[in-house]
Amino acid sequence: MKTVLVSVTDKTGLDNFLTRLERFDTLRLIGTTSTAKYLEEKGFKCTKVEELTGFPEILSGRVKTLHPKVFAGILARPITEDRSCLAEMEISEIDLVVVNLYAFEEALKKNLAEQPMVEQIDVGGVALLRAAAKNFERVAVINEPSQYDSVIAAMDANKGEIPLDFRRKLAYQAFARTASYDQSISSYLGKLVHDAHTADSAEKSEAAVPEFADKLTINLKRQETLRYGENPHQAAAWYQLESPIAVPGLSAELQAFPPFEQLQGKEMSSNNITDTYALVKILRELSAPAVVVIKHNNPCGVAQAKTLADAYELAYECDPMSAFGGVYGFTGKVDAALAERITRNFVEIVLAPEYDEAALEIFKKKKNVRVLKSTVDTKLAKQRDYKLKHLSDYGFLLEVDQDVPVEASTFTCVTEKKPDPALQKDIAFTWSVVKHLTSNAIFVAKDGLSLGFGIGQTSRIASTGIALRQAGEKSKGAVMASEAFLPATDNIEAAAEAGIAVIIQPGGSIKDADVIAACNKAGIAMVFTGQRCFKH
């Protein structure tokens, strides 16, 4: 006879599992009140936990299974000393523990008040899982219905027994579940602290200053295993956060995941995901209609126009060679006519918030093209978010993200010449884009259209030269943006020779005065943002 303790919130497939389990041995079932009632209704004989312990459930069910007769039965080792103790205390061994926890994560989605949420914190269930997992040498533990089939399969293959290596695997899964569960609770309480911190700062009319915890627990769930990583010889998988990292003063909201729905095309690769992320970061900054083309995690074409179709043509024509095999993002609905134009070229990915049915039919003719429907808000959050970077042996870096809107009203013109009012939109446009380019970065644009990108050079003047050469004659009367301060007048001299009308940069160099003087001499207007935007 096998003794099975059952206490489940999710009763999916439970009766079927126990019926299959009875093929191998006679079962003695022990259940908490609601589970025992369910099993009896399904025709099983089940002993209630309180009948086993002689102690009733108390505190409105807060204490049900926390009793020596339960935990000794689970934790007893298969040794003479422990079995003698059980016999003396008249305690039976428990062989299998089937427990799943209060649905705390589901309750999170309902935005319940604090007290109802606290009541969804499971104590006894977590203790049962941990006890059974600790004693995997003798006891098997199941923490979710999805494990039922694999347990039966293991027993089928091992003459009705659950082998040690499989019990060890079940123990690992149980501890992973309790760790994930505790992290969700910790994040919830962290969000309450975060909200109180933000509210307190608001009352004092202060900006909420992030409070970085001494310890952080990060709970990740695998979304999918990828074809390969950055290169074919690298294995890779894509993970999502199961609960937000709680940092008071930063955003504590968890975005919907995955951030897109794939409507067709080949599987996403590691590079596809990072390129799509780079795409969305820029799209969030732009006013519709706008199109962004990404290649190797940097834009090669960005355009805003009166129509999405016009924006597409302009973005593509900025650098057709680089756009070949690129990742394309749209701020609006892609219709059939636009889909027809897109598929004339080699495209890896198309991402948009919406598609016409006719457009999707056109894309089907190019079966390898990955067509993605964005499922996240493309607008920038007002609350500052964070970014987490793993540096292998050097640990992790957690920092405030720079992706918050910068109001043009905060920009300061530092030169004698003021920008032409007609260029105000381009000034904001260039700054919105340049901060997403790999440093050192220079971006040249005019009339909402990218003209030149200088990206990832180790000297700023090299990036300036690349951007201006790409822009060519079109740079006359254009706006040039730098994501960090211009350290010398050589950049100004190059911009003046190319006919640049306005330069926008953070300022802050010890040579600002020289740079401003060079702009005054060249008749170039210069705007300081006061915010550096290095990106590495």
The set of catalytic residues is 134, 296
CA distances (Å), origin 194, targets 179, 206, 249, 494: 22, 15, 6, 48
How many other CB atoms are found less than 10 A from the CB of residue 271?
Answer: 18
Task: In whole angstroms, give the CA distance from residue 105 to residue 107.
Answer: 5
DSSP string, 401-455: ---S---GGG-EE-SSSPPPGGGHHHHHHHHHHHTTSPSS-EEEEETTEEEEEE-
User: Residue 429: left (phi > 0), alpha (psi -120 to 50), or beta?
Assistant: alpha
CB-based burial label for 283 (10 Å; 0-12, 13-18, 19+): buried
| Single-letter code of the amino acid located at 221 | K
112-120: long-range pairs with CB below 8 Å, 24+: 114/192, 117/188
The pairing of beta strand 220-225 with beta strand 237-241: antiparallel
- On the CB side of 23, how many CA atoms lie within 13 Å of its CA? 12
How many residues belong to the chain?
A: 536
- Max alpha carbon distance in the chain (Å)? 98
Virtual CA dihedral for 217, 222, 228, 229, nearest 10 degrees?
Answer: -20
Structure tokens at 283: 């799209």
Virtual CA dihedral for 61, 66, 70, 71, nearest 10 degrees?
Answer: 150
Task: In whole angstroms, give the CA distance from residue 325 to residue 347.
Answer: 5
Task: In whole angstroms, give the CA distance from residue 189 to residue 213.
Answer: 13
Task: In whole angstroms, give the CA distance from residue 508 to residue 515.
Answer: 11
Task: In whole angstroms, give the CA distance from residue 210 to residue 382.
Answer: 15
Task: In whole angstroms, give the CA distance from residue 317 to residue 301.
Answer: 8
Contact 283, 329 (CB under 8 A): yes
